Structure 1
């Protein structure tokens, strides 16, 4: 009985069997597999990239959990602690704002109003619990009142710091309170800080005290000493 190899040899006559070397065979296989029919169900480039990303995240998490005390549970506790600290800082400091230096920020806008009008606006904001706006309006009322009393020269573009420095001359006993009020105004108006009722009450008290305090004016030039 002839073997299968012998039958193939006999069927082909005296010609030797066809053999293909390794490199041409590999090239032929690659050409065959590159046909679109073999890639109809391949994932898209987006899915491949997404899979690589999640593989990277998994490797990173595994490495971090191996290094953290307590393994995976310890890593979760650390992440939660960091998130809690971030939320605490955000609640305490407020949302950061990009702003110019407070010394360059004007105190008044382009709508000139009297001290009484600023005080009325401040009281209206305070009644609604809008402490940021209430503090700003009370500070404007304070400075406008000093202008109306001719203790400050009306000057467009004056900053809160400048107003505090100038107002400290006729009211030296209130210099520290005036500078603190200016810093509070700038922090709230341009620094993203949040005012409270206590902040407003402090500024209201200062405004009232200045209104009822006799200023210390310099002696007229040439007056008898």
Structure 2
């Protein structure tokens, strides 16, 4: 006698016996269709729900629900660390995100490239590498402005200066981007400054002083 799931009834009412495996495969294929899952929670919603469940478990443990207070506290701290790591990964380092709002010359008075270079050397001689890197980057950008390779613009970030100068000095575009990255990492607290970082910016500044810009082709020139 055929079991339930092995019999398919035709439109006319006549039963047809179907092998068990074929019936199971047909049911599985039907259930995986998108129409049955349009309202399923997204991956992000599942992660949030999982985190909330862990918080609920930790709070229950703190209340003495089956575990000691110490165990509950450990669970709560673990969950808090997981949430903090997730937010850090999702939002990025706060100081790195803030770099787009701060220019190279933020907090600095009007100075020439030579003045910034001299200040960088004084900081370097005293072993204040973070200040030396900051002043050296300012000297580099101010030097490009004084040569009219960059238009003077308050609030310009190191990344923007590198991108704009790289178009006029394509041979040094990669070095400019690397210098801007070093400046950002140090200026916004994610990397410890050292002599090598200052030397990298100092050498690039000297190289750019001798670099010749690539002139853009005149509009409407001969084909």
TM-score per shorter chain, which class? 0.5 to 0.7
Which of 154, 157, 182 is the aligned partner of 1:156? 154
Q: Which residue does 1:120 correspond to in 2?
A: 118
Q: Which residue does 1:183 correspond to in 2?
A: 181
Shift of 1:215: 1.0
Separation in structure 1 between the aligned mates of residue 215 and residue 135 of structure 2, nearest angstrom: 27
Q: CA offsets, 1:155-207, max 9 Å, x none?
A: 01100100000010111111111011111111111133211111111111100
Structure number with higher relative contact order (C-alpha < 8 Å, ≥ 6 residues apart): 1
Q: Which residue does 1:203 correspond to in 2?
A: 201
Q: Secondary structure at the match of 2:200?
A: helix
Shift of 1:219: 2.8
Q: CA offsets, 1:75-94, max 9 Å, x none?
A: xxxxxxxxxxxxxxxxxxxx
Give the unaligned 5+ runs of structure 1.
1-55, 61-96
Give the unaligned 5+ runs of structure 2.
1-67, 72-92
Contact persistence 1:131–1:196 (CA under 8 A): yes
TM-score normalised over the length of structure 1? 0.54
Separation in structure 2 between the aligned mates of residue 188 and residue 178 of structure 1, nearest angstrom: 15
Contact persistence 1:103–1:160 (CA under 8 A): no
Equivalences for residues 1-225 of structure 1 within 5 A: 98-99=94-95, 100-109=97-106, 110-222=108-220
How many residues in Structure 1 have an aligned counterpart in Structure 2? Answer: 134
Contact persistence 1:115–1:140 (CA under 8 A): yes
Shift of 1:223: 5.1
Q: Give the number of the structure whose alpha-carbon radius of gyration is greater.
A: 1
Query: Please, what is the CA RMSD of the aligned residues?
Result: 2.3
Separation in structure 2 between the aligned mates of residue 217 and residue 185 of structure 1, nearest angstrom: 28
Q: Runs (4+) of structure 1 moved beyond 4 Å? A: 222-225
